[in-house]
């Protein structure tokens, strides 16, 4: 086990990226768990080949495509059973830079949750149209106001949680799967008054393959906002 860190990587049809992605993590002192939703493009087979020469790589194959949040819940459960202390959320499409991960890990022991943030000083994105930047930052700002939180990048999927944080926020009881999952997890941490750091990152557009974003994911996030908003204003328990 490497430094008690586990990088949890959900995948679905990432055969074009997964081998190079796993290679890019070779200098990071962490184990890796790929959670694959039975990708028809052979993603899991490529991971298995990598596992032969690299004992830090693990694979959890699921029968169906059940969504991002479900993949992270299963990945966290696997990691907790194997006694890891720190849990990294990271995409397999090179949107999240290894250099930023290294910086986040250096801060991890001081915080319950570290969020790789595009919307703090030093953060940003590359390869995005102006329209996409405005929509993303605007959506995060609206969520920030409605949910009464200081977190600037609630939808970021680049994070590090401690084992204790996951247990405190009762992650198993989360209901969402897309961007809503990241919002729900973040607000649960806020409601439990956990120590949170937004670490500036540069988000890069995926190199290969297709985005998993669709209208259902957006609607789920909107539903979550309107569900959580009254609870935040009334001081009701979220988890």
Q: Which residues of the chain, if any, have pLDDT below 70? A: 1-3, 206-218, 220-223, 225, 229-239
The pLDDT, as a whole number, for residue 111 is 99
Instruction: Specify the pLDDT at position 235.
Output: 61
pTM of the complete model: 0.89
Taking only the tens place, the pLDDT of each residue in 36-48 is: 999 999 999 999 9
pLDDT of residue 1: 44
Pick the CATH number of 5-234 from 3.40.50.2300, 3.10.20.440, 3.90.550.10, 3.10.580.10: 3.90.550.10
Cβ-based burial of 192 (10 A; exposed 0-12, middle 13-18, buried ≥19): middle
235: left (phi over 0), alpha (psi -120 to 50) or beta: left
Q: What is the pLDDT of residue 122?
A: 97
CA dihedral (147, 188, 97, 34) positive or negative = negative
Q: CA 33 to CA 31: how far, in whole Å? A: 7
Provide the pLDDT for residue 208.
58
**What confidence score (pLDDT) does residue 132 get?**
82
pLDDT of residue 187: 93
Residue 157 has a pLDDT of 96
Rg, the chain, Cα only: 17
Residues 170-195: tens digit of each pLDDT: 999 998 887 789 999 999 999 999 99
- Cβ neighbours of 223 (radius 10 Å): 13
**DSSP structure string for 37-98:** ---TT-HHHHHHHHHHH-TTEEEEE-SS---HHHHHHHHHHHHHHTT-SEEEE--SSS-S-H
pLDDT at 207: 60
Listed by start position, the domains of the chain span 5-234
Task: Give the Cα-Cα-Cα angle 63, 69, 73 (nearest 5 degrees).
Answer: 75
Structure tokens at 193: 């008054």
Closest by CA position to 39, among listed 59, 20, 57, 63: 63
């Amino acid at each position: 086990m490497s430094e008690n860190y586990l990088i949890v990587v959900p995948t679905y049809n990432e055969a074009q990226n997964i081998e190079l992605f796993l290679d890019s993590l070779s200098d990071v002192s962490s184990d890796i768990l790929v959670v694959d939703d039975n990708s028809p493009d052979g993603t899991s087979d490529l991971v298995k080949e990598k596992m032969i020469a690299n004992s830090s790589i693990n694979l959890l194959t699921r029968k169906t495509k059940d969504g991002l949040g479900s993949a992270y819940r299963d990945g966290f459960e696997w990691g907790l059973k194997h006694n890891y202390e720190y849990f990294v959320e990271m995409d397999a499409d090179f949107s999240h830079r290894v250099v930023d991960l290294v910086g986040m890990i250096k801060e991890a022991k001081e915080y319950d949750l570290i969020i790789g943030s595009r919307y703090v000083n030093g953060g940003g994105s590359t390869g995005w149209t102006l329209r996409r930047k405005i929509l993303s930052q605007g959506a995060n700002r609206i969520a920030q106001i409605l949910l009464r939180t200081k977190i600037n990048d609630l939808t970021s999927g680049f994070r590090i949680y401690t084992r204790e944080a996951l247990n405190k926020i009762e992650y198993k009881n989360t209901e969402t799967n897309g961007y809503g999952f990241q919002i729900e997890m973040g607000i649960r941490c806020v409601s439990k008054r956990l120590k949170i750091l937004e670490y500036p990152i540069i988000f890069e557009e995926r190199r290969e393959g297709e985005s998993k974003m669709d209208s259902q994911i957006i609607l789920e996030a909107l539903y979550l906002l309107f569900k959580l908003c009254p609870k935040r204003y009334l001081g009701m328990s979220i988890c």
